[in-house]
Amino acid sequence: MIKVNPKKREITDTIWTVIETFGFSEVEYNEGFYEDSKKEPGKYYYFAKNSMTAVNSQDSGEKAKADLVALCVEIAMVCGKENVTISLSDEKLAELLCLFGFENIIKLETGEKSAELLCLGKPFAKTKFEEDYYEITLDLSEFLDETAGFERVQASLIFAETDAEGMAYDIAYNLRMNGCIVEYYTGCGTIDDALLYTKEKGLGCILRVYSDGKLMINDFAKNEIIETTASDFLGYYDDDEEEDECDCGCGGHHHHHDHDMH
């Protein structure tokens, strides 16, 4: 039987925020967990010494794999890890990971190879993918000390209107590469459904991308709505590395963007 663990273990708020954003529930590990998770499909995680294991027995195939890989990549990026790469041979999985904005860090290999996550060439997560059971274990030993000084980071949701998916992916990738926690809305509902989802998850902001390039940022923390364009939002200054506090609601900083109101 799966038992939810009500005790918050000693881990930084930064990592906790990422895990919670992906909808995983902490459970108590026991010797029968493997079989129990198949009987009670869901999205679970548990801690061991210097490691965190996440299990997705709720979704199937590549969707479950992509969810787990994206979780660990998000944790690595938010914790400031550089040169993160995803090495794999599954093209369908690679396509799904592109939806998370990871296309520039994916390295397709030949042959049969499970997804491997590396930082500076060193693996930091191990996968175990079986039928109806998908698991990934993240080595936390290199993450805990580095995130000790982080403030709690709020996550943002990106909602793409019809034919705006490409621009939305670019925005998601840009924010993730700059240390923001971003979730891409994959539901079939309207913007009202996405707003309800955002409030239920306690996310700090929703970015609505339109097919004509317009971008509307609803920042719940500041209680304001900013209207701009995707091109302005993604427009880096070519001649400097100026940084400003971002308007995506994540509470972090990244390269300066022109967020003028229109």
Q: Tens-digit pLDDT profile for the chain (262 aa)?
A: 444 444 444 455 667 778 878 888 888 777 788 888 888 888 988 877 678 889 998 887 888 899 999 999 888 887 777 788 998 888 888 998 988 888 888 988 877 766 778 876 788 888 888 887 899 998 877 665 544 333 334 678 899 999 998 888 888 877 776 667 788 887 778 999 999 888 877 788 899 999 999 999 998 878 889 999 988 888 732 333 444 445 555 544 443 333 333 3
Considering the domain architecture, whether residues 130 and 223 belong to the same structural domain is answered as: no
Whether 66 contacts 92, CB under 8 Å: no
Provide the whole-model pTM: 0.56
Q: What is the CATH number of the domain that holds 24?
A: 3.10.310
In a domain, 247, yes or no: yes
In a domain, 55, yes or no: yes
Angular region, 21: left φ>0, alpha ψ -120 to 50, beta rest: alpha
Give the angle 238-243-249 at the CA atoms, nearest 5°: 120
Considering the domain architecture, whether residues 164 and 214 belong to the same structural domain is answered as: yes
Considering the domain architecture, whether residues 131 and 221 belong to the same structural domain is answered as: no
Q: What share of the chain is helix, strand, coil (3-state, %, to 5)?
A: 30, 30, 45
Considering the domain architecture, whether residues 56 and 131 belong to the same structural domain is answered as: yes
Q: What is the CATH number of the domain that holds 218?
A: 3.40.50.800
Domain boundary among 139, 172, 188: 139
In a domain, 114, yes or no: no
In a domain, 61, yes or no: yes
The residues, any chain, with a CB within 8 Å of residue 116's CB and separated by 6 or more, are 86, 87, 88, 123, 125, 127
Tell me how many domains the chain contains.
Answer: 2
Considering the domain architecture, whether residues 174 and 251 belong to the same structural domain is answered as: yes
**Amino acid found at 108:** L
Which range marks the domain in which residue 177 is found? Answer: 156-255
The residues, any chain, with a CB within 8 Å of residue 59's CB and separated by 6 or more, are 43, 67, 134
In a domain, 164, yes or no: yes
In a domain, 111, yes or no: no
Considering the domain architecture, whether residues 135 and 188 belong to the same structural domain is answered as: no
In a domain, 177, yes or no: yes
In a domain, 4, yes or no: no
Considering the domain architecture, whether residues 251 and 160 belong to the same structural domain is answered as: yes
Domain boundary among 139, 166, 182: 139
